[in-house]
Each structure stands twice: as C-alpha cells, then as structure tokens.
Chains A and B, each alone.
Chain A
Amino acid sequence: EDQVTQSPEALRLQEGESSSLNCSYTVSGLRGLFWYRQDPGKGPEFLFTLYSAGEEKEKERLKATLTKKESFLHITAPKPEDSATYLCAVQAISSGSARQLTFGSGTQLTVLP
C-alpha cells in the first residue's frame, strides 16, 4: 500500500525565515511525486512534478527536491502570501492508465509579517 507522510503538520514562520517541509513516501515503484498548494476554501493547485532521485524544481521562493525515500519543499525568504497548506502526492507505476494519486495530509504553513 502506497503511503505518504508529511511533516510538520503545521509550521509558523516569520517573514523572511527560510525553512523546509518534508514528505516521506513508500510506494511500489514511483512514477512521480507531486506538490500542490491549497488555500483555505479552495481546491489544490499544482506546483511541481519530480520523477527521479536528485531532481530539483524551482518556482519563485519554492524549491522541491527528491530522494529515494522523501521529498523536501524548501521555502526561501517566505512572504505572508506563501501561507497555505502544501500537499505532497505520489503516483505509483502500478496506478495504470487512471494515474491515481496518493496524497499526504499536508503541512499548514503560516508566514507572519
């Protein structure tokens, strides 16, 4: 059974205080790992895809990295508008044509001004 565990559950940062969110996963053959952002009362919004260990993706203040067991979402000099819940999801090779995702519970990030 595919599993995704995210930590911490909640994180409060001061504006400009860099940190990292963790996503640990177990999957029987990884097709891809995905990061989403979710604002309160909204649906998740896609951020990144990572396919293989060592891969990195960047977008503004966010950088996602991948190892064989976990992924990190690094947030550099965050701003209050980065406050959101960040979700990690994995897609197994065995997911077939439907390409189902298994999601973690998310990390709720609050950036204080």
Chain B
Amino acid sequence: DAGITQSPRHKVTETGTPVTLRCHQTENHRYMYWYRQDPGHGLRLIHYSYGVKDTDKGEVSDGYSVSRSKTEDFLLTLESATSSQTSVYFCAIRPGTSGNTGELFFGEGSRLTVL
C-alpha cells in the first residue's frame, strides 16, 4: 500500500463547471502523476510534478491545470469541464528511492462523468 488516496472517487458534473480532483499521499514521494484512462487509448499522461510548485505538462494537458502546494497533495483542475473529459483519472507516485524508475504506484481512480 503506497498510501495514495484519490477524491472524489466518483463525480457527475455538467459541461462548463469547474472540477478539482485531489490526490493525497502519505509517504513524501517527490514525483506524482495524473493519468487519464479511456477505452482504446490506454493510460495517457496529463501532468506531472517533481516537487512542491514544480509541475510540467504531459501529452494530453489541454483543458487541465495542476497545483502542488504541499508534498502530499497534487490537485488536478478542469477549469470548464467538457464531455470529452469524461474519463477515469488515476494519480500515481514514483518512489524516489527505487532504482526501478518505471515502477509506479497508482491510486484507485476517480471516475468523472461530464454531462
């Protein structure tokens, strides 16, 4: 158990409303990631963070922003949700002490439906 908690786990919202998903970790890992998972596309990286206030874009970052004001929390915000952002969102952490840099620990996911 890597101590990752995502909230909310399920959310239904309407087009144009703002949405924030939260990822909380308990083990002070430096690297945190937000992925979305859609049928036929696999997991795609949205944004990642390599420390407090240090973030960068992934391959599908349009329409999303992130913030990390504390080591333990990584927030994903949809400023104005669209139906194309209906997806399952996964937060992941990479243990910094691991030499195996592809070993990520994932949260349980947040299922977002935009009507």
Contact = CB atoms under 8 A, between A and B. Distances in A.
Contact of B104 (A41, A42, A46, A105): A46
B106 A43 contact: yes
Given A34-B102, A43-B109, A89-B102, A99 B42 contact: no
B90 A32 contact: no
A45 to B, nearest CB: 7
Nearest to B56: A98
A17 B113 CA distance: 38
A4 interface: yes
Interface string B81-107: 000000000101010000011111111
Interface of A: 4, 31-32, 34, 41-46, 49, 87, 89, 91, 97-101, 103-106
Interface of B: 31, 33, 35, 39-45, 48, 50, 56, 58, 90, 92, 94, 100-109
